[in-house]
Amino acid sequence: MSVRFISSLFWQILPRKRKLFPVSAVCILTVVFLWSAYEIDGRADGFTDEELCRMAEDYYIQTSGKKDGPGYVEIDSEAADGQVLIWLYDVVEDGPEGAHGVTRAWYQIDRKTGRGVDAVTLEEVDLTAAAGSAGSTLR
């Protein structure tokens, strides 16, 4: 939130004598705090499915020590509170019988912040720290 925008809010709510009403000051500080919380903790609108999948793949490549990412990354499910379960996996052919998925990782992530936990190891995961740095090959 820019300083110019904040100062314009102050001047719009001040009476002609330029004395600040306590309620108005509280309202402005509340708006500034909430806006700052969104900027610090993530995006107000949340990350898209595609962004989360790319970020998950980049995070996996950086933290797993493997040179290649999983063959597939998808949002497996989403809860009402914005938590998404991201599945990173490969498909292995079984010959004439078909194929099956081989899981590389499961991440439970908050859509707004890009942070969460590895659903297998329960370690903290921050997808925003690795976003775009590993060269995703998302399919």
Between CA 69 and CA 59 the distance in angstroms is 9
pLDDT of residue 43: 60
Task: Tell me the per-residue pLDDT of 7-28, one tens digit each, with 9 for 90 and over.
Answer: 454 445 445 445 544 545 444 5
Burial 9-36 (b: 16+ CB within 10 A, else e): beeeeeeeeeeeeeeeeeebeeeeeeee
End-to-end CA distance of the chain: 36
Dihedral sign for Cα 52, 58, 64, 67, please: positive
Least confident of 20-24, 115-119, 130-134: 20-24
